[in-house]
Structure 1
Amino acid sequence: MPEGDTVFLAGRRLDDALAGRELTRGELRHPRLIEHDLAGRTVLGVVSVGKHLFTRFDDGISLHSHFRMDGTWHLYRPGRPWRGAKHDIRAILETDERVAVGFRLHDLELLPTAEEDRLVGHLGPDLLGDNWDDAAAAEVKRRLRADPDRELGTALLDQRVACGVGNLYKAEVCFLMKVSPWTKVGDLTDRQCDDAVSWSRRLLERNAWRPEQSTTGDLGDGAQHWVFERGGRACRRCRDVVRVSRQDDGTKDVEDRVAYFCPTCQPGPHPELPRRGARRPQQQTGRRARY
């Protein structure tokens, strides 16, 4: 599932392309929405809320989309060829100047703009939200501490705690905090809880306006991350081997169950480490969305 900065960037690019323009074509190919034609509506704006996107129209209706594992929006100039299989197309929003094509958008819904909270009201504060302030940070910390027996890595992925963190930032935040992803939230110090919140927001902000995701400050190939997708390679800090293991987050999302960590730099509880040469869980790819 994409990180919050991927959805944020997609929303900003869609907003730049569509906001203030009338749709000359508004086709929805989702099974539940095929009877709806959005042509003639004017796009007021596109906003992201964590991993959710809302395209708002001048008639008080919003189109909600969620990328899930493999969804994406592409932007094209009219007349240019589209990249992607035709059978994967779920939405086409076209103006005189741009065409937005949604591929593999399994979650699409039309709803009154005034009712958007029905889909996102249960979520925690958006780490990339325009209204982020000290009160929002305190609320995330409160929600994080609400279940002291929960593992930190699992809590960071819970969008009801805070919106935006995915498996990449879960791994990198835990590494930068120097704690194991399996550390119970109740075992964290007050300072460590503050660090969990601040690192989560800082890393998302760092990458929000670009397609590359770097947590090390280096955009070079293979140098962008501390531990994420570096299983079996040397830790950048101590040269121990970065390990990969499963962390059950209570969902069926296999990717979110993979945890990358350095057992030396991140002391604390962790599963039994595989014997040298044992097969490790398959590593996942990084950012999936394309524009």
Structure 2
Amino acid sequence: MPEGDTVYQAARRLERALVGRVLTETDFRVPAYATVDLSGERMDEVVSRGKHLLMHAGGFTIHSHLKMEGTWEVYPPGARWRHPGYQARAVLRNADAQAVGFQLGVLEVLPREREDEAVGHLGPDLLGPDWDAEEALRRLSAHPDVPVAVALLDQRNLAGLGNVYANELCFLRGILPTHPAGDTDLAAAVDLGHRLITANRDRPLRVTTGDTRRGRNTWVYGRRGQPCRRCGTPIRSASLGRTELEERVTYFCPVCQT
């Protein structure tokens, strides 16, 4: 699933193509919003909120979430899309560009005053102007028995971290993903998470090791069976989540993380 830095970059691309321009055509290809027409509205703002995208056009908010396979792409007028048309869920056109949302996990058009119905549950946004480390720490500390990786992934605690960051943070802090949040130096984890995602928000390749070469950019994530970059022990993996439906694959070094 795309993480907060990926969504932040998508918002910046859409901002450059859409903001300040009048929509000449909109096409929402989901039944609930198929009759909505925002043509004639000016696109005022495109922002990321954790893993969510919010586009403000007139009195409306276009809310989307990429989930596992979604993407927003920008094309010149009339250009051929790189994905089949049946995967398109939203098409926004102005005189200079067209923005197409493919395979979006969530797409809805809301009156702007109802925006909180979509994102009001989220914790502080690590890449937002209103980032509040103390509030994130308060929320994380409220459930001390939850495994720390699960707590970091819970968007109600802090918004933007996904499975890559949760796994890499646990390695860098030397703790197992299953370690209880209440027995963890959460302040240090929150500070490191903020620094990591901020450092990556403009990078084309997410890097947590300091090595920008592809295949060298993570410590443990996606490296099951490969040697730990610090001690050489094979990286292990397991499933972890609040419920079976929310389980994610976690990666860890059994020697460096205790």
TM range (shorter): over 0.9
Aligned partners of 2:112 and 2:140: how far apart in 1?
29
User: Of residues 162, 166, 171 in structure 2, which corresponds to 1:170?
Assistant: 166
Aligned partners of 1:165 and 1:104: how far apart in 2?
21
**1:147 equivalenced with 2:139 (yes/no):** no
Helix, strand or coil for the counterpart of 1:172? helix
- CA offset digits 1:247-276 (Å, max 9, x no partner): 12326245xx20000011101xxxxxxxxx
Aligned partners of 1:79 and 1:211: how far apart in 2?
27
**1:204 equivalenced with 2:197 (yes/no):** yes
Task: In structure 1, give the amino acid aligned to 2:254.
Answer: P
**1:6 equivalenced with 2:6 (yes/no):** yes
**1:258 equivalenced with 2:246 (yes/no):** no
Task: In structure 2, give the amino acid aligned to 1:205.
Answer: T
Alignment of 1:214-225 (within 5 A): 214-225=207-218
Aligned partners of 1:100 and 1:183: how far apart in 2?
43
Look up the match of 1:78.
77
Shift, 1:152, TM fit: 0.2
- CA offset digits 1:44-92 (Å, max 9, x no partner): 011111111111012x111111111111101111122111121110111
Structure 1 range deviating more: 117-126 or 174-183: 117-126
Aligned partners of 1:115 and 1:36: how far apart in 2?
16
Look up the match of 1:287.
none
Alignment of 1:30-41 (within 5 A): 30-41=30-41
The ranges of structure 1 where at least 4 consecutive aligned residues each deviate by more than 3 angstroms after the TM superposition are none
TM-score scaled by length of structure 2? 0.97
TM-score scaled by length of structure 1? 0.86
Identity %: 47
Aligned partners of 1:130 and 1:211: how far apart in 2?
22
Shift, 1:221, TM fit: 1.6
**1:20 equivalenced with 2:20 (yes/no):** yes
* Structure 1: stretches of 5+ with no match in the other structure: 268-291
Shift, 1:107, TM fit: 1.2
Alignment of 1:221-236 (within 5 A): 221-236=214-229
Aligned partners of 1:67 and 1:82: how far apart in 2?
18
Aligned partners of 1:4 and 1:242: how far apart in 2?
25
Task: In structure 1, give the amino acid aligned to 2:232.
Answer: R
Structure 1 range deviating more: 113-122 or 151-160: 113-122
Shift, 1:196, TM fit: 1.1
Task: In structure 1, give the amino acid aligned to 2:194.
Answer: R
Equivalent pairs, count:
258
**1:96 equivalenced with 2:95 (yes/no):** yes
Aligned partners of 1:36 and 1:120: how far apart in 2?
21
Alignment of 1:98-117 (within 5 A): 98-117=97-116
Contact 2:24 2:93 in 1 (8 A): yes
Shift, 1:38, TM fit: 1.8
Aligned partners of 2:82 and 2:112: how far apart in 1?
31
Contact 2:68 2:105 in 1 (8 A): no
Shift, 1:237, TM fit: 0.7
Shift, 1:203, TM fit: 1.3
Look up the match of 1:52.
52
Shift, 1:18, TM fit: 0.3
Aligned partners of 2:92 and 2:204: how far apart in 1?
22
